[in-house]
């Protein structure tokens, strides 16, 4: 068989694209009817994929059909209005549409030379994000896969700068025998911070852990005396409570000491783009670097995040890439600010999302997450559920009064097909955690969610 001919034919006839599009549209049309988490039967059906690698080329139609028949029912209904798991976020129609177009371009976003359009849109997004978040002019942005990678990028930039200040070039001398960097984080730092620290050569025992309060914010009085060798981690949006650290007070101390502050704002940084919520992020512009996701609060497709860094020299030096075949252009080459070399051109969908929503639309969407969260809080409270956290943003932590009942209610909710949310522990007790971060969640979805909670608790106690 002439495989090349076969592929040219697929491309020319477009039948496989029509098929994929029809399946995709039908998926979108039925999202509200499907189980929010797949049934046991649909999970079991995934066994169909366990086969030996075929000897011969399979038909494109059969591949797409298999994926639709057995893959679609084994998805979580994340693009619907009642998926509240982790902090996953939905997806804007405009972002999917522009991604489809850009998929045909298949651009390597690493350099200007490999994709002028992506490089251009990264520069536009960089400007827009700085304006939305009110960050200093000199801030540069690197477009990466997730906040985990953005956190890592911020850490290596800080590592570069804090060592350079002590006369040590980490790119040449490495970490062996390097001067000390003091790492300050509070107990509620996200697990991606400890992971990224480990990747950068720092273990948990190298961290000066600071106590956090009942909402997971760093306790100001517990902050140790800072100096210019310190890397301090703060959080905009605790993954459980949604709480924000006291940026103004802490950043002022770090600036005076000459320390570096990195803010993990995976989903929470976006509160600064909402007029009624921006008080939460007050003072965050005083930090040195910030990490945030596109795929959470902004509702871009996966995977999409940004490292924003005030010290461009530190970020670019830390993520340096050299190779004789690399041709840097006069434009900013995207890979200068990312750990990756070849990469997805993810700024395309981020640009489309921001342009589509506009400042007012972003404000409306982000504020909407908070309003839905408050609606849920009130509805659950009046049905005698306990709300553990101050609902300052989009996270709601729920308890049923005793640990066993909370756990079984959560299991029932997860099996209900009506909604899906994840669990967590807070102060050692199990909690049900709801995160509202999809544009598609309506007031009616919240009403249905409250009914689902009541039902799940009754079945649990029966």
Ligand X SMILES: *Cc1c(COP(=O)(O)O)cnc(C)c1O
Q: Which one, of 286, 306, 291, lies nearest residue 136 by Cα? A: 286
Q: Least distance (Å) from ligand X to the CB of residue 298?
A: 12
Measured between alpha carbons, how far is 333 from 288 in angstroms, rounded to an integer? 22
Helix axes 93-105, 347-381, angle to 10 degrees: 150
Q: Least distance (Å) from ligand X to the CB of residue 193?
A: 7
Neighbouring CB atoms inside 10 A of 38's CB total 20
Q: Is 239 in the site for ligand X (CB under 6 A)?
A: yes
Q: Is 146 in the site for ligand X (CB under 6 A)?
A: yes
* DSSP E strands, 101-252: 140-144, 182-186, 207-210, 230-235
Q: Least distance (Å) from ligand X to the CB of residue 299?
A: 13
DSSP string, 277-330: TGGGGTTGGGSSEEEEESSSTT-PPSS-EEEEES-HHHHHHHT----TT----S
Measured between alpha carbons, how far is 113 from 104 in angstroms, rounded to an integer? 18
Q: Least distance (Å) from ligand X to the CB of residue 349?
A: 15
Q: Is 186 in the site for ligand X (CB under 6 A)?
A: no
Q: Which one, of 181, 137, 164, 112, lies nearest residue 318 by Cα? A: 164
H-only helix segments in 304-402: 312-318, 347-381
- For 308, the token pair is 């924003």
Site string for ligand X, 166-185 (x = CB under 6 A): --------------------
**In which residue are the tokens 């591949």 written?**
63
Q: Which of 38, 80, 154, 237 binds ligand X (CB under 6 A)?
A: 237
Q: Is 192 in the site for ligand X (CB under 6 A)?
A: yes
Of 180 and 195, nearer to ligand X (C-beta) is 195
Q: Least distance (Å) from ligand X to the CB of residue 442?
A: 24
Q: Give the binding range for ligand X (CB under 6 A) out of 90-98, 167-175, 262-270, 322-330.
A: 262-270
Of 240 and 416, nearer to ligand X (C-beta) is 240
Q: Which one, of 461, 460, 458, 377, lies nearest residue 411 by Cα? A: 460
Of 135 and 307, nearer to ligand X (C-beta) is 307
Q: Which of 147, 188, 300, 338 binds ligand X (CB under 6 A)?
A: 147
Angle at 243 between CA 229 and CA 289, to 5 degrees: 35
Q: 184 near 194, Cβ under 8 Å? A: no
Q: Which of 155, 170, 305, 446 binds ligand X (CB under 6 A)?
A: 305
Q: Which of 112, 143, 233, 267 binds ligand X (CB under 6 A)?
A: 267
Measured between alpha carbons, how far is 403 from 388 in angstroms, rounded to an integer? 13
Q: Is 243 in the site for ligand X (CB under 6 A)?
A: no
Of 347 and 400, nearer to ligand X (C-beta) is 347
Q: Which of 148, 229, 389, 438 binds ligand X (CB under 6 A)?
A: 148
Q: Give the binding range for ligand X (CB under 6 A) out of 50-58, 68-76, 140-148, 216-224.
A: 140-148
Cα–chain-centroid distance for residue 152?
14
Report phi then psi at 163, rounded to 5: -80, -40
Q: Least distance (Å) from ligand X to the CB of residue 293?
A: 5
Q: Is 334 in the site for ligand X (CB under 6 A)?
A: no
Q: Could you give the C-alpha distances from 323 to 156, 338, 345, in angstroms and in order?
A: 20, 16, 21
Q: Is 144 in the site for ligand X (CB under 6 A)?
A: no
Q: Which of 130, 159, 190, 310 binds ligand X (CB under 6 A)?
A: 190
- For 392, the token pair is 């300052």
Bridge partners for 144 per DSSP: 305
Of 147 and 375, nearer to ligand X (C-beta) is 147
Measured between alpha carbons, how far is 273 from 297 in angstroms, rounded to an integer? 11
Q: Is 264 in the site for ligand X (CB under 6 A)?
A: yes
Q: Which of 111, 155, 266, 452 binds ligand X (CB under 6 A)?
A: 266
Residue nearest to ligand X (CB): 146
Q: Give the binding range for ligand X (CB under 6 A) out of 1-9, 144-152, 212-220, 241-249.
A: 144-152
Size of the site for ligand X (CB under 6 A): 13
Q: Least distance (Å) from ligand X to the CB of residue 210?
A: 17
- Site residues (vs ligand X, CB under 6 A): 87, 146-148, 190, 192, 237, 239, 264, 266-267, 293, 305
């Amino acid at each position: 068989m002439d495989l090349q001919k076969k592929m040219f034919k697929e491309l020319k006839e477009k039948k496989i694209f029509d098929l994929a599009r029809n399946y995709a549209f039908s998926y979108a049309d039925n999202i509200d009817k499907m189980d929010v988490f797949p049934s046991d039967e649909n999970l079991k059906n995934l066994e169909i994929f366990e086969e030996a690698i075929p000897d011969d080329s399979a038909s494109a139609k059969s591949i797409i059909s298999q994926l639709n028949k057995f893959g679609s029912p084994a998805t979580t209904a994340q693009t619907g209005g009642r998926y509240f798991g982790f902090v996953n976020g939905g997806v804007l129609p405009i972002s999917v549409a522009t991604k489809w177009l850009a998929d045909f371009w298949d651009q390597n976003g690493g350099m200007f030379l490999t994709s002028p359009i992506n490089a251009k849109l990264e520069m536009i997004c960089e400007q827009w994000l700085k304006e939305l978040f009110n960050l200093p002019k000199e801030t540069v942005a690197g477009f990466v896969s997730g906040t985990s990678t953005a956190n890592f990028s911020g850490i290596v930039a800080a590592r570069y700068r804090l060592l350079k200040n002590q006369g040590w070039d980490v790119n040449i001398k490495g970490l062996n025998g390097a001067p000390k960097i003091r790492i300050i984080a509070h107990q509620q730092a996200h697990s991606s911070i400890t992971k990224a620290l480990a990747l950068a050569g720092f273990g948990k025992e190298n961290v000066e852990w600071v106590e956090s309060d009942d909402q997971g914010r760093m306790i100001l009085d517990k902050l140790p005396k800072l100096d210019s060798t310190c890397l301090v981690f703060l959080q905009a949006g605790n993954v459980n409570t949604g709480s924000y650290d006291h940026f103004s007070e802490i950043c002022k101390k770090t600036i005076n000491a000459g320390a570096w502050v990195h803010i993990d704002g995976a989903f929470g940084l976006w509160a600064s783009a909402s007029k009624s919520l921006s008080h939460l992020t007050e003072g965050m512009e005083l930090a040195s670097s910030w990490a945030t996701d596109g795929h959470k609060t902004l509702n871009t497709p996966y995977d999409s995040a940004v490292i924003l860094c005030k010290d461009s020299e530190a970020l670019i030096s830390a993520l340096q890439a050299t190779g004789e075949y690399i041709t840097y252009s006069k434009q900013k080459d995207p890979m200068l600010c990312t750990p990756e070399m070849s990469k997805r051109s993810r700024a395309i969908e981020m640009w489309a999302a921001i342009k589509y929503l506009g400042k007012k639309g972003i404000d409306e969407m982000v504020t909407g997450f908070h309003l839905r969260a408050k609606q849920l809080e009130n509805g659950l409270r009046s049905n005698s559920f306990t709300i553990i956290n101050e609902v300052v943003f989009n996270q709601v932590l729920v308890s049923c009064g005793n640990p066993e009942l909370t756990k079984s209610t959560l299991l029932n909710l997860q099996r209900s097909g009506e909604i899906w949310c994840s669990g967590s522990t807070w102060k050692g007790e199990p909690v049900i955690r709801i995160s509202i971060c999809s544009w598609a969640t309506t007031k009616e979805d919240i009403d249905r969610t409250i009914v689902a909670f009541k039902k799940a608790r009754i079945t649990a106690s029966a």
